[in-house]
């Protein structure tokens, strides 16, 4: 499929007319080339990149989806919403949407070359709870890892809760690392708990997931580096749950976050 065809399926929420592996192929490098081509098309028509999503950081679900390493995609001004704790997201024209509770970072500046956790901590402005709506354009969420990359990292929507300045939470990378790793979440559909998760599920902590992403991003030919003001959502703490318009979902996080609720339209 051409980049224009991929974008058309994103715009209209249609399934790809190909079996798993025939779009992304077997080469992750080429899959990222396709995703970056789609990114350029979106920029050309007026959309603005505002950061990145990192997916498949949760090792507990790798076998379920047959993807065994993290991937990433672009977040857009047209897909991002920010709220104080209760928000709404339209899932119109998404394809087989699912919902994920995550930790989201806001960047203060571009991390230095060869950044370690301490350098990365210095480049973070804030951290917040988030809900990402992810989607797959292959039936029944059956895909290869390279398919998910060519499918724009499966990103559809992102709701970010109230940002907390990182220096209010921790004075060092080690402290923030432990705090986020030990945090837990209850995911509720209406008033029913459907799953529990924890920050340590995502590559041992969301901060470590962010660092892994930064290293991989800088290895990818043609990928724009992190910039001041970018948001990065770092992967689901639970499985991804199928959603429908009209539903309300809540993520009840332990400190440092509170609850985040979303109503889907």
Give dist(CA 47, CA 262) in Å, integer. Answer: 24
Give dist(CA 211, CA 234) in Å, integer. Answer: 10
Render the burial of 62-75: b for 16+ CB within 10 Å, e for the rest: eeebebeebbbbbb
pLDDT tens readout for residues 64-108: 999 999 999 999 999 999 999 999 999 999 999 999 999 999 999
Q: Do 55 and 154 form a contact (C-beta atoms < 8 A)?
A: yes
Domain positions in the chain are 3-264
* Res 263 pLDDT > 80: yes
DSSP H or E run through 177 = helix 173-182
CB atoms under 10 Å from CB of 14, counted, come to 12
pLDDT tens readout for residues 159-175: 999 999 999 999 999 99
Give dist(CA 47, CA 240) in Å, integer. Answer: 26
In this structure, which topology does domain 3-264 adopt according to CATH? Fumarylacetoacetate hydrolase; domain 2 (3.90.850)
pLDDT of amino acid 147: 95
* Res 23 pLDDT > 90: no
List Cα–Cα distances, 51 to 105, 167, 231, in angstroms.
Answer: 10, 21, 5
Using omega within 30 degrees of 0 as the cis cutoff, is the peptide bond preceding 256 cis?
yes
* Res 25 pLDDT > 80: no
pLDDT tens readout for residues 84-94: 999 999 999 99
pLDDT of amino acid 47: 98
Average pLDDT over residues 178-207: 98
Residue 109's pLDDT band, with cuts at 50, 70 and 90, is: very high
């Amino acid at each position: 499929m051409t980049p224009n065809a991929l974008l058309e399926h994103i715009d209209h929420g249609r399934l790809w007319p190909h079996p798993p592996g025939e779009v992304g192929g077997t080469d992750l490098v080429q899959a990222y080339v396709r995703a970056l081509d789609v990114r350029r098309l979106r920029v050309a028509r007026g959309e603005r990149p505002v950061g990145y999503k990192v997916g498949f950081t949760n090792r507990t679900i790798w076998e379920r989806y047959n993807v065994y390493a993290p991937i990433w995609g672009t977040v857009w001004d047209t897909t991002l919403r920010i709220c104080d704790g209760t928000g709404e997201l339209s899932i119109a024209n998404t394809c087989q949407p699912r919902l994920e509770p995550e930790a989201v970072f806001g960047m203060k500046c571009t991390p230095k070359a060869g950044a370690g956790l301490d350098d990365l901590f210095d480049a973070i402005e804030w951290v917040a709870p988030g809900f990402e709506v992810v989607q797959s354009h292959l039936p029944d969420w059956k895909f290869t890892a390279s398919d998910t990359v060519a499918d724009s990292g499966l990103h559809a929507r992102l709701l970010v809760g109230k940002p907390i300045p990182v220096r209010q939470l921790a004075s060092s990378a080690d402290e923030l690392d432990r705090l986020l790793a030990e945090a837990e979440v209850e995911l509720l559909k209406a008033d029913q708990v459907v799953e529990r998760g924890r920050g340590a599920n995502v590559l041992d902590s969301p901060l470590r997931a962010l660092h892994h992403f930064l290293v991989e991003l800088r290895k990818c030919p043609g990928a724009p580096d992190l910039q001041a003001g970018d948001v990065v959502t770092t992967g689901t703490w639970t499985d991804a749950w199928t959603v429908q318009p009209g539903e309300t979902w809540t993520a009840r996080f332990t400190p440092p976050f509170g609850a985040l609720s979303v109503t889907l339209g």
